Amino acid sequence: MATLPLSSPLTTNAPFLTKPPSIFIHAKQRDRFRVLCEQNQKGSTKSDETSNGKFDRRNVLLGMGGLYSAANLVSSSSTFATPLAGPDFTKCSRGTNLNTSQPLDVDCCPPVATEIIDYKLPPVTKMRFRPAAHLATDEYIAKYDKAVELMKALPADDPRNFMQQANVHCAYCNLTYDQVGASDLKIQIHNSWHFYPWHRWYLYFYERILGKLIDDPTFGLPFWNWDNPKGMAMPAMFVKTSSSLFDARRNQNHLPPASTDLAYTGTQSVDTPQIISNNLTVMYNEMVRNVQTLEDFYGARYNTGTQPDPGPGTVERGSHAALHVWVGEATSSGEDMGNFYSCGREPMFFCHHTNVDRLWTIWRDLRGSKTKDFIDSDWLDASYLFYDENAQLVRVKVSDTLDNKKMGYDFQKVDTPWLKNRPVARAKKSKVATTTAAPSVDSTIFPAKLDKVVKVLVPRPKKSRSKKDKENEEELLVIEGIEVDTAKFVKFDVFVNDEDDNPNTLDKAEYAGCFSQVPHKNSTRSKTKIRLGLSELLEDLDVEDDEKILVSLVPKAGGDDITIGGIKIIYAS
């Protein structure tokens, strides 16, 4: 039902006018509306404005059109829910290079099916086993090689074909699909809370297709164990040129035995012990220090009516992005692995993301009794479309991805050395924040271009917080209005009260985290944000009583193409 214009007179043929609007709102939804109203009256701690400077459409409708308009915006089953819906494949487009207004020179659109089935997870009778790539047996490698060979041999228009499967990732990440219900906005499954569940479904069906091709219901994808020094080198199974797992478009400087650089900056890494030490610190920050709140691990909320790229989680913007670019060809476009549109053409992509999927499982286990997942229906009811192992187009939901064992697969158990690698401060009780000549954040330095190191003093609204305070609320450094060109690899690191100013040394408590972006095929300006946990970091630096901290933003790649809108400290539970 269309929303009535504000100027339209109320007519008797409008069915909802016969009774007060409250009868159309479920009790839980009415309570939620009451809370929203109270927050707006008191001054909500959660801004109605998104990181892109656009207002949430539901709040606009509540303010302008009242309950009638809000009820008409979404389905009757969930008045306030606007979960992202699986796209309309018949309206897939090549997308447009927004800098040139020309169509993209690649077509990622999948075959169009006439029937879509709501997918139900089958009963688990045999568990699929996902081994660590560096520990895989010769028998397993031969089986995996054969499965990919058969996938590549499928007819070109078979949705299970290797290139068609590669195009799945391209289509969902390259602004190819309109949002259902908001055709002026595009679907992007990166840089938001869709990152983990969407990729889990992608791997799930890819794995099942391979298993069916070799008639092995227990076949599982290998994971590249790059968070462990023993598995950080590029897995040897992908290097043999005669194998179906080989891809010529790889950075030849990073072939085995070179160690993975989880803080890769786009220039050739020097394989030293410092890289291993940095890697372990990166993993600790991404999996422990910076992820006390759900948003900081998963990424920011992204619903129908929301601009793409609202904010990536820790692993996505860090080690995940670094590995994409580290593997990709040493060119500006970074193909295959180093560009979102082509990365599915690299067999190692699936090995890489299987480890990302494994890290999601580990992180949930580390949470213990803490809340592990969003309970928001905007997340749980979000849906995607995939072709299954029978070439049937199916609709899947986020809510079915929360337990990998219920999806029928499990991972080989290996060590997680980063878990005991809490970084140590280089200078405790540093006075650098009181002696620096850096300007205060309330000055006019923002927006600031990151063509050089930017240092700024950031005030702390709360200091000397108790243990209970820190358990209830995480202190977070928010870097917002991060504007970048999506077609370029960009990266910057963030340090707090760092006295030694060595940008290549990350194994210290002063290192707060990073932002990096894998290039897209399309080129447009994107605005996003990141949040970095401070509670443990300030404790390790022993500056919890300080009124200000010194924040250093250090460009590592593409600084000329990075603009920062602002920095602040907030508190979130």
Give φ, ψ of 498 to 5 degrees.
-90, 115
pLDDT at 442: 82
Q: Helix, strand, or coil here: 435?
A: helix
**pLDDT tens-place string over residues 506-530:** 999 999 999 999 998 877 888 999 9
As a 3-state breakdown, the chain gives helix, strand, coil percent values, each rounded to 5, of 35, 15, 50
Residue among 295, 342, 335 nearest 532 (CA):
295
Max Cα distance, the chain (Å) = 77
**pLDDT tens-place string over residues 175-218:** 889 999 998 899 999 999 999 999 999 999 999 999 999 999 99
**pLDDT tens-place string over residues 97-148:** 666 667 777 889 999 998 999 999 999 999 999 999 999 999 999 999 999 9
The CATH homologous superfamily of the domain defined by 89-420: Di-copper center containing domain from catechol oxidase (1.10.1280.10)
Percentage above 70 pLDDT, the chain: 84
pLDDT at 9: 31
Buried-state track 39-58, b at ≥16 Cβ within 10 A, e below 16: eeeeeeeeebebbbeeebbb
The distance of Cα 537 from the centroid of its chain, to the nearest Å, equals 23
- 49-53, 59-63, 487-491, range with greatest mean pLDDT: 487-491
Contacts of 52 (CB under 8 A, 6+ apart): 307, 309, 310, 527, 528
Q: Which residue has the tokens 């009583």?
A: 545
Question: Catalytic residues, which ones?
Answer: 169, 190, 199, 320, 324, 340, 353
Question: HEC profile for 521-532?
Answer: CCCCEEEEEEEE
CA–CA separation, 286 and 296 (whole Å): 9
Percentage above 90 pLDDT, the chain: 76
pLDDT at 58 over 60: no
Angle between helices 195-213 and 162-173 (to 10 degrees): 170
Residue 320 annotated as part of some ligand binding site:
yes
Q: Which two tokens stand for residue 28?
A: 């839980």
CA–CA separation, 358 and 320 (whole Å): 12
Is domain 432-572 given the CATH code 2.30.29 in the classification?
Answer: no
CA–CA separation, 54 and 66 (whole Å): 19
Residue 350 pLDDT class (50, 70, 90 cuts): very high
pLDDT at 86 over 50: yes
pLDDT at 67: 30
**pLDDT tens-place string over residues 60-74:** 333 333 332 333 333
**pLDDT tens-place string over residues 22-42:** 333 333 333 433 333 333 333
Question: How far, CA to CA in Å, does 70 sit from each of 26, 29, 342, 395?
Answer: 13, 11, 40, 26
* Of the candidate ranges 115-119, 260-264, 269-273, 322-326, the one whose mean pLDDT is the lowest: 269-273
Residue among 291, 351, 287 nearest 319 (CA):
287
The arithmetic mean of pLDDT across residues 437-466, rounded, is: 94
User: Strands across the sheet with 454-459, in order?
Assistant: 454-459, 548-557, 490-496, 511-517
pLDDT at 56 over 50: no
Locate all alpha helices (DSSP H) within 244-394, ordered by sequence: 273-284, 294-298, 314-315, 321-327, 347-366, 377-380
Locate all alpha helices (DSSP H) within 115-268, ordered by sequence: 138-153, 162-173, 195-213
CA–CA separation, 496 and 567 (whole Å): 13
Residue among 163, 170, 166, 164 nearest 187 (CA):
170
Residue 199 annotated as part of some ligand binding site:
yes
Torsion from C-alpha of 434, 437, 443, 446, nearest 10 degrees:
-110
Residue 353 annotated as part of some ligand binding site:
yes
The pairs formed by 74-82 with CB atoms below 8 angstroms and a separation of 24 or more are: 74/181, 78/29, 78/377, 78/381, 79/24, 79/25, 79/26, 79/29, 80/29, 80/32, 80/33, 81/377, 81/378, 81/381, 82/57, 82/58, 82/181, 82/303, 82/304, 82/305, 82/378
Write the burial class of residue 30 (CB in 10 Å: 0-12 exposed, 13-18 middle, 19+ buried).
middle
The domain locations on the chain are 15-73, 89-420, 432-572
pLDDT at 527: 94
Residue 190 annotated as part of some ligand binding site:
yes
Q: Which residue has the tokens 């391979």?
A: 210
Is the CB of residue 555 less than 8 Å from the CB of residue 450?
yes
**Regarding predicted confidence, which is higher, 269 or 135?**
135
Radius of gyration, CA atoms only, the chain:
24
pLDDT mean across residues, the chain: 86
pLDDT at 97: 65
pLDDT at 510: 98
pLDDT at 12: 30
pLDDT at 70: 34
C-beta atoms surrounding 399 within 10 Å: 14
pLDDT at 500 over 80: yes
**Regarding predicted confidence, which is higher, 105 or 362?**
362
Is the CB of residue 341 less than 8 Å from the CB of residue 174?
yes
Residue among 134, 142, 154 nearest 219 (CA):
142
pLDDT at 100: 67
